[in-house]
Chains A and B, each alone.
Chain A
Amino acid sequence: KNEVEQSPQNLTAQEGEFITINCSYSVGISALHWLQQHPGGGIVSLFMLSSGKKKHGRLIATINIQEKHSSLHITASHPRDSAVYICAVPNYGGSQGNLIFGKGTKLSVKP
């Protein structure tokens, strides 16, 4: 079973700051997911990436397959970015495509 570690667990930033959230996993994968969950809300898929870098607006995700590490960056952070960010990888114990989740990083952006 893949182990997923995220850091930091909690992060407070001032509006406009550059944010980095890190994720490492123990077993090689074909794709990694970054997810966002607002308080009391459902989960939104931000990125699925298997190599290199992806960018969507102010969000950038990178992955290093050899090092089993991924980062999520937020440029020019805004209070509406306040949420829990979750890294998830496929469960290679089976072939059903279910995800194993990190414990999440709770981000709070202050105005």
Chain B
Amino acid sequence: DTEVTQTPKHLVMGMTNKKSLKCEQHMGHRAMYWYKQKAKKPPELMFVYSYEKLSINESVPSRFSPECPNSSLLNLHLHALQPEDSALYLCASKTSGGSGNEQFFGPGTRLTVL
């Protein structure tokens, strides 16, 4: 199994809703990433988990709350989002931190906030 899966593929939510994005990999990777990509822009890093511990938070607003319950699963909990948070949310994983390994990306969740 050499893929990263993300659910849901599409999500529409209101500003008062609470929802969660899910990312899963079974490659034994111990580094997992959340990126946010706005239309026609490159991805931007949000969070890095290394060995199930949050190691980087790129000054992301608290309405985004990441969680890594085990080495295969990464969640992103969403609450009180704003319309400008509408974007493609990409999950990625790699063997471990450091620069020498290939990073595998999921297909993304396209989020629309009304």
Tell me if B99 and A33 are in contact (CB < 8 A): no
Q: What's the minimum C-beta distance from B60 to chain A, rounded to whole angstroms? A: 13
Q: List 20 A-B contacts (CB under 8 A).
A: A29-B99, A30-B99, A31-B100, A35-B105, A41-B107, A42-B90, A42-B105, A42-B107, A44-B105, A86-B42, A91-B45, A95-B98, A96-B56, A96-B97, A97-B99, A98-B45, A99-B103, A101-B42, A102-B42, A104-B42
Tell me if B31 and A97 are in contact (CB < 8 A): yes
Q: Complex Cα distance A43/B50, Å?
A: 21
List the A residue with the shortest CB-CB distance to B47. A98
Tell me if A45 and B97 are in contact (CB < 8 A): no
* B48 contacts chain A at the CB level, 8 A cutoff: yes
With a 10 A CB-CB cut-off, give which of B42, B43, B45, B107 has the most chain A CB atoms: B42
In the complex, given contacts A30-B99, A43-B105, A86-B42, what are 18 additional A-B residue pairs having Cβ atoms less than 8 angstroms apart? A29-B99, A40-B110, A41-B107, A41-B108, A42-B90, A43-B90, A44-B105, A45-B104, A91-B45, A92-B99, A94-B56, A95-B98, A96-B48, A96-B97, A97-B31, A97-B48, A97-B94, A104-B42
The A-contacting residues of B in range 1-32, CB under 8 angstroms, are 6, 31
Tell me if A90 and B99 are in contact (CB < 8 A): yes
Closest 8 CB pairs of A and B: A90-B99, A42-B107, A101-B42, A43-B105, A42-B108, A96-B48, A96-B97, A97-B97
Q: What's the minimum C-beta distance from B79 to chain A, rounded to whole angstroms? A: 24
Chain A contacts for B107, CB-based, 8 A: 41-42
Tell me if B56 and A98 are in contact (CB < 8 A): yes
Q: What's the minimum C-beta distance from B97 to chain A, rounded to whole angstroms? A: 5
Chain A contacts for B50, CB-based, 8 A: 96
* B59 contacts chain A at the CB level, 8 A cutoff: no
List the B residue with the shortest CB-CB distance to A90. B99
List the B residue with the shortest CB-CB distance to A92. B99
Chain B contacts for A102, CB-based, 8 A: 42
